[in-house]
């Protein structure tokens, strides 16, 4: 049994393969040679050579011997990424969000099958660890890095592990682990099923492969989070439930209105949320406001889903941008009258028909005759009947509801 990294012989190595995430290998080297640029690990087992591809994350040397940790792929899923907002009325594709992450990090993608194809009309990628953002976009589908360094967002292979690849050395059904003698890496991976040498089949949850010049043994955990068993329960609850969701409200500032929706700029950088465009408003039934530029609003994510942002509140009285540009109630586009607004009775060219009092005598020539249309004016200046320039009667609303005020 042997392991070499970049052609340098390894004294002993431990390969950790979690159910979800990137594998990593810790190795003690025969020399103190610099391996910072090494990307290939060769593991020689009884069935031949197995090549793994990864990136050196850290290393060092002491007393002419070196040590190194290599992480599968580009070792970038633990790096921080910048915040980024997505908006698409046809739906933001999860594959697009995942592809952007991989491209920014230099990781290679293989199969991408997130649990939901569309993330909604919006998606808010937070600043922070890339792996967390990948999990959020992948949904309930696990992501993992294969031995060839390729990242997959897909279910693990669930076929039986070839019985010739291993032999069972120990089994503790209480602690739920199995120790295997490994003759091949073929089929020894999370998701694969072990049957040979066991009373009941078990599915590999995670494993640690320990390789020395004398042996290669795999410690396999099953029925849970494997090597992450201690933190697995917490990780499942926190990272996969809370960590993927955005609870609470977040302060944003209105940049401009985009139709009935708002383009927003985040107020505080600390939460790591991006600026967003075309965010809808949710408020009182039948109420819609054209928000003023610069107005502060609160944004919440419905059900904690970063693909479903909504404006729920605007700044209170005396706050910046408190007075909106306009308000619509009950979907109507007609203006609302206020106390003091102008009232007009009649209008230019208003036509009326006058009727004489009962028993009145016939009027003289050129006088108003009953049943004949006339021009009526409320101006002190005599009107021009031919030009229909009569004046209307003006007044003002003198009362109003004491419970409702408008601008």
Q: Domains of the chain: which residue ranges?
A: 1-75+156-244, 81-142, 249-329, 335-407
DSSP 165: G
**Which residue would you say has higher pLDDT here, 286 or 384?**
286
Is residue 297 classed as helix, strand or coil in its secondary structure? Answer: strand
Q: What local confidence, expressed as pLDDT, does residue 332 receive?
A: 64
Query: What's the distance, CA 287 to chain centroid?
Result: 27
d(CA 108, CA 149): 7
Determine which of 24-38, 71-85, 219-233, 355-369 has the lowest per-residue pLDDT on average.
355-369
d(CA 109, CA 207): 23
Question: What residues are paired with 281 via a beta bridge?
Answer: 311
Q: What local confidence, expressed as pLDDT, does residue 316 receive?
A: 81
Question: Is the C-alpha dihedral spanning 183, 189, 190, 194 positive or negative?
Answer: negative
Binning pLDDT at 50, 70 and 90, where does residue 380 land?
Answer: low
Binning pLDDT at 50, 70 and 90, where does residue 313 land?
Answer: confident
Q: How far is CA 11 from CA 3, 32, 34, 259, in A?
A: 8, 12, 16, 66
Binning pLDDT at 50, 70 and 90, where does residue 301 land?
Answer: confident
- pLDDT (average), residues 96-124: 95
d(CA 49, CA 314): 64
d(CA 12, CA 129): 31
- pLDDT (average), residues 91-95: 95
- pLDDT (average), residues 107-123: 94
Does position 209 have pLDDT exceeding 70, yes or no? yes
Q: What local confidence, expressed as pLDDT, does residue 228 receive?
A: 46
The 3 state secondary structure assigned to 32-48 is: CCCCCCCCEEEEEECCE
Cβ contacts of 391 within 8 Å, gap of 6 or more: 348, 377, 378, 379, 381, 383
Task: Say whether 249-329 and 1-75+156-244 share the same fold.
Answer: no
Answer whether 12's CB lies under 8 Å from 44's CB: no
d(CA 71, CA 58): 9
**HSE on the CB side for 163, CA within 13 Å?**
5
d(CA 159, CA 64): 44
Q: Report the chain's mean pLDDT, rounded to a whole number.
A: 81
Nearest alpha-carbon partner for 267 in 307, 319, 221, 226: 319
Domain 249-329: which CATH number of 3.20.20, 1.20.120, 2.40.50, 1.10.150:
2.40.50
Phi, psi angle pair for 31, to nearest 5°: -130, 175
**Which residue would you say has higher pLDDT here, 181 or 316?**
181
**HSE on the CB side for 216, CA within 13 Å?**
20
d(CA 166, CA 197): 9
What is the H or E stretch that residue 121 is in?
none
Does position 155 have pLDDT exceeding 80, yes or no? yes
Q: What local confidence, expressed as pLDDT, does residue 94 receive?
A: 96
Q: What local confidence, expressed as pLDDT, does residue 370 receive?
A: 62
Does position 352 have pLDDT exceeding 50, yes or no? yes
Nearest alpha-carbon partner for 276 in 57, 88, 10: 88
Inter-axis angle of helices 94-105 and 130-138, nearest 10: 160
d(CA 206, CA 190): 5
Answer whether 203's CB lies under 8 Å from 222's CB: yes
**HSE on the CB side for 3, CA within 13 Å?**
25
- pLDDT (average), residues 298-306: 83
Q: Quick one: what percent of the chain has pLDDT higher than 70?
A: 78
Instruction: For tokens 């230099």, name the residue.
Output: 106
Longest CA–CA separation in the chain, Å? 134
d(CA 11, CA 67): 10
Q: Which CATH class is domain 1-75+156-244?
A: mainly beta
- pLDDT (average), residues 47-51: 87
Give the pairing of strands 193-194 and 2-5: unpaired
């Amino acid at each position: 049994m042997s392991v070499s990294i970049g052609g340098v012989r390894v004294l002993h190595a431990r390969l950790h393969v979690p159910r979800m995430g990137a594998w990593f290998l810790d190795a003690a080297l025969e020399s103190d040679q610099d391996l910072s640029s090494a990307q290939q690990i060769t593991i020689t087992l009884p069935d031949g050579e197995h090549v793994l591809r990864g990136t050196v994350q850290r290393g060092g040397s002491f007393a002419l011997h070196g040590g190194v940790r290599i992480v599968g792929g580009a070792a970038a899923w633990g790096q921080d990424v910048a915040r980024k907002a997505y908006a698409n009325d046809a739906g933001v594709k999860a594959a697009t969000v995942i592809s952007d992450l991989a491209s920014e990090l230099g990781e290679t993608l293989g199969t991408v099958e997130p649990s939901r194809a569309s993330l909604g009309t919006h998606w808010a990628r937070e600043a922070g660890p890339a792996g967390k953002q990948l999990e959020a976009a992948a949904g309930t589908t696990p992501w993992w890095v294969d031995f060839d360094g390729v990242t997959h967002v897909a279910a693990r292979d669930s076929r039986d592990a070839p019985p010739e690849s291993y032999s069972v050395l120990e089994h503790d059904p209480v602690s739920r682990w199995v120790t295997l003698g490994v003759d091949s890496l073929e089929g020894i991976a999370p998701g694969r099923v072990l049957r040979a040498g066991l009373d009941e089949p078990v599915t590999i949850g995670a494993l640690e492969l320990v390789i020395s010049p004398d042996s290669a043994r795999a410690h396999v955990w099953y029925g849970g989070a494997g090597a992450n068993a201690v933190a697995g329960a917490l990780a499942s609850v926190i990272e996969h439930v809370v960590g993927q969701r955005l609870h609470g409200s977040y302060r944003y500032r209105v940049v401009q209105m985009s139709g009935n929706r708002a383009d927003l700029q985040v107020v505080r950088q600390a939460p790591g949320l991006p600026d967003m465009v075309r965010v809808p408003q949710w408020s009182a039934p039948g109420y819609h406001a054209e928000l003023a530029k610069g107005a502060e609003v609160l944004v919440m994510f419905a059900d904690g889903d970063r693909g479903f942002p909504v404006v729920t509140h605007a700044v209170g009285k005396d706050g910046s941008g408190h007075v909106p540009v306009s308000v619509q109630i009950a979907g109507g586009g007609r203006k609302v009258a206020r106390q003091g607004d102008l009232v007009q009775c009649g209008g230019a060219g208003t036509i009326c028909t006058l009727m004489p009092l009962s028993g009145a005598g016939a009027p003289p020539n050129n006088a108003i005759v009953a049943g004949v249309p006339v021009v009526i004016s409320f101006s002190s200046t005599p009107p021009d009947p031919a030009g229909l320039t009569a004046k209307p009667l003006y007044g003002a609303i003198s009362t109003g509801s004491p419970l409702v005020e408008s601008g």
